[in-house]
Structure 1
Amino acid sequence: MTPPQRLTALGAALVLAVLAGAGTARAAPAPATPAAASPVQALPAGVPPFVNGFGLTLLPEDTQVNGPTDFTLTVTTGQLSGKHKIRILLPATYASDPGRRWPVTYFLHGGGGNVDDVMAAPALHTASMITVVPDGGLKGWYADWLMQNTAEGRADWETFHLTQVVPFIDANLRTRADRAQRAVVGVSMGGFGSLHYAQSRPELFGHTAALSGGIDFGMWQVRAAVLGTELDLPGAWCAISNSGSPGSGRCVGYGPVVDSDAIFGSPYPVFDADRVWKAVDPAAPVNLARLSRTDVTLYTGSDDLIDLHTAAAAHTVKARLDKLGIASRLVDYGDGAALGPGCDGGHHYGCWAPAFADYVPRLEAAFAAAG
């Protein structure tokens, strides 16, 4: 008898209950010009001029100016339903140094999060690089979904980010548009996204960092977390992108319920039903081999019910990279005592903020060394 290929809400709840109970360069070429680029009405004062292109249409009236070097654009695209934000943090001297080009770091937020989560990691707003924070959806999982007829509508997140946002930024800002000067980093769901994007498009990203990432799809606990976000089960991966303080109890929602097969298809490892999960698994050796020229960094705690599993995933990835002869850096900060006073080893920005404070200077040095 063929096993069921979809996980029911009750079944996912039971799986997740078990999970919860497990402890209960050179000067860059001039930026590309988008085909058929069209000027848009003036953006608010202080925001550099932008033009539509690469499938993105700006909504100038929805622009938010958060500060002199911090603004949020709103765009529409045929790849996604609805409006979507892109938050941009510029170096303090971006406007006053018009002859200079800058490296770019893309920050991918976690599930249930949004572009404003970057403010919980102040190290990402620096004097030496541009930081771009594209919307990743409440449960987009940085993927082109298999199902496009769910309550979420069109959901081609990977195409949006890699074929639209990246060239759009290079065309409109003074970037260093080469892989040695471009990084992708993320937390939790965004940790999966950062490692997956670096593997999917190694010609784009020379640096990647995953913090407490869901980076081993061979683990049923990680698959269960994805399913929980699809089914919007409370506590599925509670506080997956919690910018509150440790122990705050803040949990997030993941938007409307969608089919448990919506993103990556069936999770069951039977008759190759889970072939998409395996194809995009960041921990798969065939995918890790694509990082041979990439600067890879992993951070994780190991002292709560979530990071207990992200630590296992990170150590698996590190061991496989070592076996492949690919250099990488893993920081398992355990209970967080050595990382920072706000870190308890848990799955939140109390740990991720000091982890970024450790990582960003290293990234800046790598950018500088690239020339």
Structure 2
Amino acid sequence: MSIRFRTARKRGACLVAALVAALSLSSPHARAAVSPPVFTDLFGLVVTSQPRWVDSGLRTFVFSVSTGQVPTPTLLEGQAPGQHAIVVTLPSSYDPSRRYPVQYYLHGHPDRPDAAWNQRVVENATRDVPLITVQPNGSGRGWYSNWVNPGAAGPQNWETFHLEQVIPFVDANLSTIATREGRSIVGHSMGGFGAFHYAEHRPDLFSYVGSFSGGLDLQNSEVRAAVVATEVNPGSGTPAVGVDAIFGPPVWPFDGVWNAQSPAQHVSSLRGMGVALYVGDGGDLTVNPVQAVLENRARETALVTASHLTAAGIPFHFSDYGSGGGWAVGCTGKHAEEPCVQADMNHFVGLIMRR
């Protein structure tokens, strides 16, 4: 083989390699060489593990922080003491030179932000949507509140942790639209309570709020029983806590905090905000009866919330989808049923992006 031919072939191979590299870099979905961001300690949060991609899709990363507001969260299996996992899903072609709106998605009980199904729901709903989604840790029983009597558990100031630390931390470390207009909040079950609770307390932070089968009425005796059950059940996290740890004693005349913190009856501060409710009726109550009854009772709290919104003259969207047949394939109206929650999230993302 002549020297000239070998040289020409090497030049050709280099040209092909250069073209392939150029094409891969120009693809909006090419993220193989992209590293997740590096975060710095801010707003009272100490980064205990830097962001790492959760899979080869390179859209969702997880990192962890510690905070003096909740230094010792109760732990589910696999969670590290004193650390809070936070999961972030970026747009498919995230560009740090642009600014993106952010939705905060609050998980239910006894769930966690890094559960695989939460990642699927978020990634499916936001594919090709210019939106950042942040899922903070809410513990198995945090109830997105500053506990009134944490006792030996130590400070459990979940509301302060999320609203005064996580939100400014995210805005400082990612390319966000750091205004009320650029932020929405939504949650499932316990997280639906948390989303309304946070939006009502801090309407200056959010332009849209949503609940997927949330337990929105703390004046409802069944919801109170459910909250108490999460406090004393080791399956909600260890160690268990007392029945008065979060909102105080759940019985009259000592239940003032329960009444004051109930989202259903305190909707007036949502005026001017987008509001959306999603819930089924449990479908066939003889099939998966626990999840069926949970959803049926969640629907009652959504109806109470809707009545207060109507009385206050606040517009809202309400997807009351019954047994789920017309809502999504595979949805049978049960609580924590992924096809139902996926359809909820798909619709909610559409609402906030249109707004």
TM-score, length-scaled by structure 1: 0.77
Task: After the TM superposition, list the runs of 4 or more consecutive aligned residues in structure 1 that deviate by more than 4 angstroms.
Answer: none
| Structure number with higher relative contact order (C-alpha < 8 Å, ≥ 6 residues apart) | 1
1:110 paired to 2:105 = no
Specify which of 82, 95, 98 is matched with residue 96 of structure 2: 98
Give the corresponding residue for 1:297: 276
Q: Look up the equivalent residue of 2:163 and give its one-letter code.
A: L
Give the corresponding residue for 2:242: 259
Q: Look up the equivalent residue of 2:217 and give its one-letter code.
A: D
1:79 paired to 2:69 = yes
Specify which of 320, 333, 342 is matched with residue 321 of structure 2: 333
CA distance in 1 between counterparts of 2:342 and 2:34 reads 30
CA distance in 1 between counterparts of 2:236 and 2:169 reads 30
Question: Are 2:62 and 2:114, in contact at CA under 8 Å, matched by a contact in 1?
Answer: no
* Structure 1 stretch displaced more, 293-302 or 66-75: 66-75
- 1:59 CA drift (Å): 1.6
Bigger CA radius of gyration: 2
Q: Which segments of 5 or more consecutive residues in structure 2 lack a partner in the other structure? A: 1-32, 73-81, 283-291
TM-score, length-scaled by structure 2: 0.80
Question: Are 2:150 and 2:246, in contact at CA under 8 Å, matched by a contact in 1?
Answer: no
CA distance in 2 between counterparts of 1:131 and 1:74 reads 16
Residues 195-215 of structure 1, C-alpha deviations (whole Å, 9 max, x = no match) = 000001000011010010000
Q: Look up the equivalent residue of 2:69 and give its one-letter code.
A: Q
* Structure 1 stretch displaced more, 354-363 or 75-84: 354-363
Equivalent residue of 1:163, what SS? Answer: helix
Give the corresponding residue for 1:15: none
CA distance in 2 between counterparts of 1:232 and 1:49 reads 37
Give the corresponding residue for 1:10: none
* Structure 1 stretch displaced more, 97-106 or 187-196: 97-106
Equivalent residue of 2:92, what SS? Answer: coil
- 1:45 CA drift (Å): 6.5
Q: Higher helix proportion, which one?
A: 2
Give the corresponding residue for 1:137: 139
- 1:124 CA drift (Å): 4.2
Give the corresponding residue for 2:259: 278
Give the corresponding residue for 2:352: 363
Residues 269-294 of structure 1, C-alpha deviations (whole Å, 9 max, x = no match) = 22xx101011111011xx20000011
Supply the RMSD in Å over aligned alpha carbons: 1.6
Alignment of structure 1 residues 165-184 onto 2, 5 Å? 165-184=166-185
Question: Are 2:212 and 2:277, in contact at CA under 8 Å, matched by a contact in 1?
Answer: yes
Q: Look up the equivalent residue of 1:53 and give its one-letter code.
A: L
- 1:362 CA drift (Å): 1.8
